[in-house]
């Protein structure tokens, strides 16, 4: 390391998501100085973004100021900024408004939506990575109902009320269920001019089943539950194009729709492409078993940016992987300062889950499989537990409780002047 005798090494962590935050937290009170850098000033609990988009939660209930966290962690500071690159030789982090020198660097910039270069999709699809996107999607949904309520032409009205969701993973399944409940139980009362039967929600998946990481019986349970709720499933179906009013599929069929929601894939954040290092699938940075990169043992890549292959292939781009990697890298750095070594990183799979709607979910963990009400309760408890901040937990619990007992969602606000989609 290039720090002098008696000096505390300077560690820079890029990204305030699950990986970066858990790493920074684990280094609190360690003999290092930590600077956490992010372009946003808040940690965002992305697994609940879809509930902001479907009027179930306020934006601020799933975000927490990073500076409030940093001030409670000894030796930690926060800098808001956009990372433009890294000078590995000079151990410099390049920012839009300056630079930072480091002894250790942890890159945890997360991921971006992968549109697979399908014509028109990136230009016309909604995705959920930021709070502003969730608010934009909520505005869009509510504005469509405002327009449909006064649209006399049946074809245009049908397109306004048709929602195409691409991707049958947890995000797609959860969004489809939440959107169906919003339209059927809440917006049907707000807009008596629109019959609940007029609204179509279509979930498109290229594979033969939903939730491919789940056991077969849970996949089937999810499919049956969604169909019972009125969600249409198009399996073994690929999107090959989209424009402002239509989604086209591989068999040349098309659906007229003003809403395309994309949850069919993710890729490493754009920073990974600017590092000049080896990359794997989805642009992820190839790392050693200790999550460092080749020729630079002081630089670590964790979370969605990291490509580490274990028994069943590359580790998935999921929050549990990111959190475990963040804690692991903190142990590696502390150990190096003490002259100790750590065993290679091993991901401990604690299971997967997805909620389908009110009182219904699927969960698989440690050989146990749950579905229905019990799985839904487990899902609720775990998501509340991993939220940052007591106030946020309380707000989310109050919103969920209100909806559970009254079937009402309070955040039906159109906050934009117009819909540009």
Is residue 318 within 8 Å of residue 111, measured between CB atoms?
A: no
Six-digit token string for 166: 């691409």
CA distances from 127 to 53, 151, 295, 310, 372 (A): 10, 27, 36, 29, 27
Contact 149, 191 (CB under 8 A): yes
Task: Note the pLDDT tens digit of each residue in 134-145.
Answer: 999 999 999 999
Output the CA torsion sign for 17, 22, 23, 29: positive
What value does the mean pLDDT take over residues 215-239? 97
**Closest by alpha carbon to 233, among 157, 180, 181, 154?**
180
Q: How confident is the model at residue 416 (pLDDT cuts 50, 70, 90)?
A: confident
Query: Which listed residue (33, 174, 181, 298) is catalytic?
Result: 174
Domains and CATH numbers, the chain: 10-39+81-113+266-337 (3.50.50.60), 121-264+352-406 (3.50.50.100)
pLDDT of 3 above 70: no
Q: What is the pLDDT of residue 311?
A: 80
Q: Is 418 exposed, middle or buried (0-12, 13-18, 19+ CB in 10 A)?
A: exposed
pLDDT at 262 exceeding the cut of 60: yes
Check: CB of residue 211 under 8 Å from CB of residue 353: no
Instruction: Tell me how far apart the alpha carbons of residues 176 and 140 are, in angstroms, rounded to a whole number.
Output: 16
| Rounded (10°) CA dihedral 187, 193, 196, 200 | -90
The torsion angles phi and psi of 68, rounded to 5 degrees, stand at -65, -35
Please report the pLDDT score of residue 418 as a whole number: 57
Strand 285-286 and strand 63-65: the pairing is: unpaired
User: How many CB atoms within 10 Å of residue 171?
Assistant: 22
φ, ψ for residue 240 (rounded to 5)? -120, -5
* CA atoms within a 13 Å half-sphere pointing along the CA-CB vector of 58: 13
Q: Which two tokens stand for residue 279?
A: 């990359």
- pLDDT tens track for 349-362: 989 999 998 899 99
Whole-number average pLDDT of the chain = 94
Do residues 259 and 296 touch, judged by C-beta distance below 8 A? no
CB 172 within 8 A of CB 165: yes
Mean pLDDT to the nearest integer, 186-193? 94
- Which residues, other chains included, contact 156 with Cβ-Cβ below 8 Å and sequence gap of 6+? none
Asked if residue 313 has pLDDT above 80, the reply is yes
pTM equals: 0.94
Cα–Cα separations (whole angstroms), residue 4 to 1, 9, 11, 89, 124 = 8, 9, 14, 18, 53
Handedness of CA 192, 196, 202, 203 (dihedral sign): positive
User: Helix 18-26 crosses helix 319-337 at what angle (to 10 degrees)?
Assistant: 30
- Token pair in block for residue 285: 């940075």
Output the pLDDT for position 407. 81
User: Residue 174 catalytic?
Assistant: yes
pLDDT, tens only, 5-56: 558 999 999 999 999 999 999 999 899 999 999 999 999 999 999 999 999 9
Cα–chain center distance at 269: 13
**Residue 236 tokens, joined:** 């073994």
Quote the pLDDT of residue 355: 97
Q: What is the per-residue pLDDT for 7?
A: 83
pLDDT value, residue 1? 46
Structure tokens at 260: 């395309």
**Backbone torsions φ then ψ of 386, nearest 5 degrees:** -85, -10
What is the rounded CA–CA span in Å between residue 276 and residue 296? 12
Look at residues 173, 200, 166 and name the one whose alpha carbon lies nearest to residue 360: 173
Joined tokens for residue 372:
């229905």
Query: For the chain, how long is the longest CA-to-CA vector?
Result: 77
Q: CA-to-CA distance for 52 and 77, rounded, in angstroms?
A: 29
Q: What is the pLDDT at residue 290?
A: 97
Dist. CA 154–CA 171, nearest whole Å: 31
292-293 and 111-113 beta bridge pairing: unpaired
pLDDT score recorded for residue 421 = 57
pLDDT at 4 over 60: no
Separation between Cα atoms, residue 172 and residue 167, nearest integer Å = 5
């Amino acid at each position: 390391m290039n720090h002098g005798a008696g000096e505390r090494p300077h560690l820079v962590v890029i990204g305030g998501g699950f990986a970066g935050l858990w790493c920074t937290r684990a280094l609190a009170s360690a003999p290092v100085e930590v600077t956490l850098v992010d372009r946003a000033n808040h940690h965002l609990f992305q697994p609940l973004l879809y509930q902001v988009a479907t009027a179930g939660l306020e934006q601020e209930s799933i975000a927490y100021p990073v500076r409030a966290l940093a001030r409670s962690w000894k030796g930690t500071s926060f800098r808001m900024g956009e990372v433009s690159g890294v000078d590995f030789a000079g151990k410099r982090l390049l920012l839009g408004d300056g630079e930072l020198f480091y002894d250790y660097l942890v890159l945890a910039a997360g991921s971006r939506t992968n549109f697979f270069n399908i014509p028109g999709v990136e230009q016309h699809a909604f995705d959920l990575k930021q709070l502003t996107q969730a608010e934009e999607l909520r505005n869009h949904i509510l504005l469509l109902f405002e327009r449909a309520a006064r649209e006399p032409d049946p074809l245009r009205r049908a397109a306004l009320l048709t929602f195409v969701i691409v991707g049958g993973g947890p995000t797609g399944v959860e969004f489809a269920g939440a959107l169906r409940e919003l339209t059927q139980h809440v917006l049907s009362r707000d807009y008596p001019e629109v019959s609940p039967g007029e609204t179509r929600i279509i979930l498109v998946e290229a594979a033969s089943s939903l939730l491919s990481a789940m056991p077969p019986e849970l996949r089937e349970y999810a499919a049956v539950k969604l169909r019972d709720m009125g969600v249409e499933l198009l399996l073994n179906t690929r999107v090959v194009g989209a424009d402002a009013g239509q989604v086209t599929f591989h068999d040349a069929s098309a659906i007229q729709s003003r809403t395309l929601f994309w949850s069919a894939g993710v890729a490493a954040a754009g920073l990974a492409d600017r590092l000049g290092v080896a990359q794997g699938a989805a642009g992820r940075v190839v790392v050693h078993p200790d999550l460092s990169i080749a020729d630079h043992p002081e630089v670590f890549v964790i979370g969605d940016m990291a490509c580490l292959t274990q028994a069943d292939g590359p580790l998935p781009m999921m929050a549990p992987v990111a959190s475990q990697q963040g804690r692991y890298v903190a142990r590696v750095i502390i150990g190096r300062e003490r002259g100790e070594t750590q065993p290679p990183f091993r991901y401990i799979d604690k299971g997967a889950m997805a909620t389908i709607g009110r009182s219904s979910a699927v969960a698989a963990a440690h050989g146990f499989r749950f579905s229905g009400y019990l799985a839904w309760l487990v899902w609720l408890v775990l998501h509340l537990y991993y939220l940052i901040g007591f106030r946020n937990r309380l707000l989310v619990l109050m919103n969920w409780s209100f909806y559970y007992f009254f079937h009402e969602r309070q955040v039906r606000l159109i906050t934009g002047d117009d819909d540009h989609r």
